[in-house]
Amino acid sequence: KKTLRLILGDQLNHQHSWFQQQDKEVVYIMMEVRQETDYVVHHIQKIIAFFVAMRAFAEALKSAGHDVIYLRLDDSNNLQSIHHNILATIQASYFEVFEYQLPDEYRVDEQLKNLAVALQRLGKACYAVDSAHFLSERLELATFFKGKKSFLMESFYRMMRKKYSLLMDGNDPIDGRWNFDAENRKKLPKNHRPVEPLTFDKDVTDVYQLIIKEGIATIGNVNPKNFIWPTSREESLALLAFFVEHCLPLFGTYEDTMHPSYWSIYHSRLSFSMNIKLLSPLEVVQQAITHWETHQATISIAQVEGYVRQIIGWREYMRGIYWCKMPDYESVNFFKHTRKLPTWFWNAQTKMNCLKHAIGQSLDFAYAHHIQRLMLTGNFTLLSGVNPDEVDAWYLGIYIDALQWVEITNTRGMSQYADGGLVATKPYISSANYIDKMGHYCDTCYYDKNKKVGHKACPFNSLYWHFYHRHQDVLAKNPRIGMAYLTWNKIKPEQQQEILNQAEIYLRDIENL
Ligand code: FAD
Ligand code: SF4
């Protein structure tokens, strides 16, 4: 055999041109390696999901007649790094050519470039091909915003709508509007029960036991007899079909609402399947649009437009920012925040009901929806000044869908404002007011949502003003924030001081909140 082709764990793209025909000269290689299980402490469900999906993908390739080398984590010849496994395989079997798909993560991209140099020195030919998944090129966003100071997602999104002719009427948006946000984002009514999420309930005990046996450090909980996440193309397609039928009709309406009893509400939970490429973003939005077209009596344009924007807008935009700004993005810290992440982020033991539930469900399901990530956990870490490195490590580990290209841009950029306002035009922060407006946590909380100071005052209320006060020098100039300072300045100085003192007390005792 002549050519060795690498398939990474997040490149399970059945539709890639590589797999469209068998080639007797080609061998594929996939590997479970400590390099990937150990670069951050991952949720146990995330590692299981990757390995189960990779194994199923390798089996599908073999059944289709392809030649596959699959290195399991405990194989004796597994050298536990992509670099060393490839070098060893090429040298042992005299492959002449090495090919890989462009990785999504900077860290792996650098590693593979270095590997290619090492192989070329040994006289081997190396080629990188596109992963054929995204709707924009790596540097398309960088070119689109060249010379601009702010990178407005909305203008990138409109360009993508036109480029792929999605929800368009010629050159105009269908129904005359690009954005239906104003109609969305309602609080879940008290007695409304969202649809039960579709789960897959598989037995993954073998992979679970392998992870335990190998002593991999993990976080979170799992029931290995009832594993909920899709790990094959068939399951991913089933979840997509379930989403368009049962969740899309209310997706936009309840996109931002939060509830302690319902962990996914009307969200699609397709991010994992998309991020490992079992589903393509184009097929996901096309299926949503096709379903809407035939169900317009029951599904409004606001629902489908809201969904399409998340995928061809936000998802592609974040990837574009990543390739435009890495590797510097990894160390931006606009507010110079240095605090350690409170220990209760790892066990959900806090009296703050909203955070207890958002962290608790993240530990139980490796999932929280966007507003829980942004306006609960992210909001709290930003208000209390946690070091973005610590925040990143937590998000990168805990979520099933966390890969650095989409995690860091959302965490450091959108949620922590650590890039100084490239992704977010103002910091996403709030007091208890917003959390109560959109969620059902406050009424049963130990803390009082209406109090800023004193016994049981909600910590978000004083931390909110503490944040604005301590960052006045860099934020007061921002026209989108001016209103907050007008409000703050209307508060009497002695009252302001009381609020700041309350925040200081909470910050000193952050471990016990
Ligand atoms: P839905 O609500 O059903 O949305 C549909 C799809 O839109 C998602 O599957 C996702 O592919 C895409 N999408 C929506 N919002 C975003 C966004 N802001 N950026 C990129 N894609 C988006 N998403 C990840 O995939 N991986 C991460 O590691 C990740 N980390 C995040 C960290 C923070 C602090 C925040 C605020 C958001 C993060 N997101 C991340 C974005 C978003 O929260 C998740 O994509 C979403 O919650 C996944 O659940 P879902 O599939 O049910 O999404
Ligand atoms: Fe969260 Fe404060 Fe509401 Fe409690 S009162 S749930 S801490 S916002």
Distance CA 310, CA 275 (A): 14
Record the tokens describing residue 486, joined without a space.
Answer: 């007008």
The reported pLDDT for the residue numbered 479 is 85
The reported pLDDT for the residue numbered 123 is 95
Residues 303 and 211 in one domain: yes
371-413 residue pLDDT tens: 999 999 999 999 999 999 999 999 999 999 999 999 999 999 9
The reported pLDDT for the residue numbered 182 is 82
Residues 307 and 355 in one domain: no
DSSP secondary structure of 313-372? IIIHHHHHHHHHHTTGGGG--TT---BPPPGGGGT---S-HHHHHHHHHHHHHS---HHH
User: For a pocket test of ligand 1, which of 317, 381, 406, 416 has the largest count of ligand atoms closer than 8 A to its C-beta?
Assistant: 406
Torsion sign across C-alpha atoms 425, 426, 428, 430: negative
Contact of 41 with 219, CB cutoff 8 Å: yes
Nearest to 28 by CA among 65, 73, 79, 70: 70
Residues 412 and 436 in one domain: yes
Percentage of residues in the chain having pLDDT higher than 90? 96
The reported pLDDT for the residue numbered 325 is 96
Instruction: Report yes or no on 134 lying in a domain.
Output: no
> Looking at ligand 2, which residue's alpha carbon is closest to its atom 2?
458
Helix count (H) and strand count (E) of the chain?
Answer: 22, 9
User: For a pocket test of ligand 1, which of 236, 310, 322, 359 has the largest count of ligand atoms closer than 8 A to its C-beta?
Assistant: 310
Number of domains into which the chain is organized: 3
281-333 residue pLDDT tens: 999 999 999 999 999 999 999 999 999 999 999 999 999 999 999 999 999 99
173-222 residue pLDDT tens: 999 999 998 888 899 999 999 999 999 999 999 999 999 999 999 999 99
What is the pTM for the complete model shown? 0.97
Ligand 2 in reach of 460 Cβ (< 6 A) = yes
**What is the CATH classification number for the domain harbouring 320?**
1.25.40.80
The reported pLDDT for the residue numbered 458 is 98
Residues 122 and 155 in one domain: no
The reported pLDDT for the residue numbered 183 is 83
Distance CA 340, CA 510 (A): 10
pLDDT band at 361 (very low <50, low <70, confident <90, very high): very high
Instruction: Report yes or no on 145 lying in a domain.
Output: yes
Please tell me the distance between residue 400's alpha carbon and the centre of ligand 1 in angstroms: 11
Ligand 2 in reach of 435 Cβ (< 6 A) = yes
Residues 428 and 316 in one domain: no
Sort 183 into a burial class: Cβ within 10 Å, 0-12 / 13-18 / 19+: middle
Instruction: Report yes or no on 42 lying in a domain.
Output: yes
What ipTM score was computed for the predicted complex, to two decimals? 0.99
Please tell me the distance between residue 445's alpha carbon and the centre of ligand 2 in angstroms: 6
Instruction: Report yes or no on 491 lying in a domain.
Output: yes
The reported pLDDT for the residue numbered 181 is 85
37-96 residue pLDDT tens: 999 999 999 999 999 999 999 999 999 999 999 999 999 999 999 999 999 999 998 899
Segment 5-22 shows an average pLDDT of 97
Ligand 1 in reach of 270 Cβ (< 6 A) = yes
Please tell me the distance between residue 432's alpha carbon and the centre of ligand 2 in angstroms: 6
Final residue before a domain boundary, out of 88, 107, 129? 129
Phi, then psi, of 6 in degrees rounded to 5: -90, 135
In a 13 Å sphere around the CA of 242, the CA atoms on its Cβ side amount to 18
Contact of 85 with 71, CB cutoff 8 Å: yes
Ligand 2 in reach of 432 Cβ (< 6 A) = yes
Please tell me the distance between residue 39's alpha carbon and the centre of ligand 2 in angstroms: 33
**What is the CATH classification number for the domain harbouring 465?**
1.10.579.10
> Looking at ligand 2, which residue's alpha carbon is closest to its atom 6?
442
Residues 312 and 167 in one domain: yes
Ligand 2 in reach of 354 Cβ (< 6 A) = yes
Residues 320 and 347 in one domain: no
Final residue before a domain boundary, out of 264, 297, 325? 325
Ligand nearest to the backbone CA of 459: 2
Ligand 1 in reach of 445 Cβ (< 6 A) = no
Final residue before a domain boundary, out of 95, 129, 163? 129
Q: Specify the residue for token string 């070098």.
A: 87
424-474 residue pLDDT tens: 989 999 999 999 999 999 999 999 999 999 999 999 999 999 999 999 999
Amino acid at 138: R
Please tell me the distance between residue 427's alpha carbon and the centre of ligand 1 in angstroms: 18
Instruction: Report yes or no on 333 lying in a domain.
Output: no
Residues 115 and 176 in one domain: no
CA distances for 196 relative to 78, 242, 263, 273, 368, angstroms: 41, 11, 10, 19, 16
Expressed as residue numbers, the domain containing 474 is: 343-512
Ligand 2 in reach of 352 Cβ (< 6 A) = yes
Percentage of residues in the chain having pLDDT higher than 70? 100
The reported pLDDT for the residue numbered 74 is 98
Q: Which of 368-372, 386-390, 477-481 is predicted with the least confidence, judged by mean pLDDT?
A: 477-481
Return all residues near 148 (Cβ < 8 A) that are at least 6 apart: none
Ligand 2 in reach of 458 Cβ (< 6 A) = yes
Ligand 1 in reach of 105 Cβ (< 6 A) = no
> Looking at ligand 2, which residue's alpha carbon is closest to its atom 3?
442
Contact of 289 with 296, CB cutoff 8 Å: no
Instruction: Report yes or no on 29 lying in a domain.
Output: yes
Residues 412 and 321 in one domain: no
Residues 147 and 59 in one domain: no
Ligand 1 in reach of 387 Cβ (< 6 A) = no
Q: What is the mean pLDDT of the chain?
A: 97
Instruction: Report yes or no on 331 lying in a domain.
Output: no
Q: State whether residue 432 is helix, strand or coil.
A: helix
Residues 440 and 371 in one domain: yes
**Bridge partners, 71 (sequence order):** 31
Q: Is the peptide bond before 189 cis (omega within 30 degrees of 0)?
A: no
Please tell me the distance between residue 416's alpha carbon and the centre of ligand 2 in angstroms: 20
pLDDT band at 480 (very low <50, low <70, confident <90, very high): confident
221-275 residue pLDDT tens: 999 999 999 999 999 999 999 999 999 999 999 999 999 999 999 999 999 999 9
Give the ligand 2 atom nearest the CA of 448.
5
Ligand 2 in reach of 353 Cβ (< 6 A) = yes
Please tell me the distance between residue 433's alpha carbon and the centre of ligand 2 in angstroms: 9
**What is the CATH classification number for the domain harbouring 45?**
3.40.50.620
Please tell me the distance between residue 271's alpha carbon and the centre of ligand 1 in angstroms: 6
Ligand 2 in reach of 204 Cβ (< 6 A) = no
pLDDT band at 1 (very low <50, low <70, confident <90, very high): confident
**Where is 3: in which H helix or E strand?**
strand 3-6
Instruction: Report yes or no on 170 lying in a domain.
Output: yes
Please tell me the distance between residue 13's alpha carbon and the centre of ligand 1 in angstroms: 20
Q: Specify the residue for token string 């993990």.
A: 218
Task: Classify residue 439 by its DSSP letter.
Answer: B
Contact of 446 with 362, CB cutoff 8 Å: no
Residues 300 and 357 in one domain: no
Ligand 2 in reach of 441 Cβ (< 6 A) = yes
Ligand nearest to the backbone CA of 318: 1
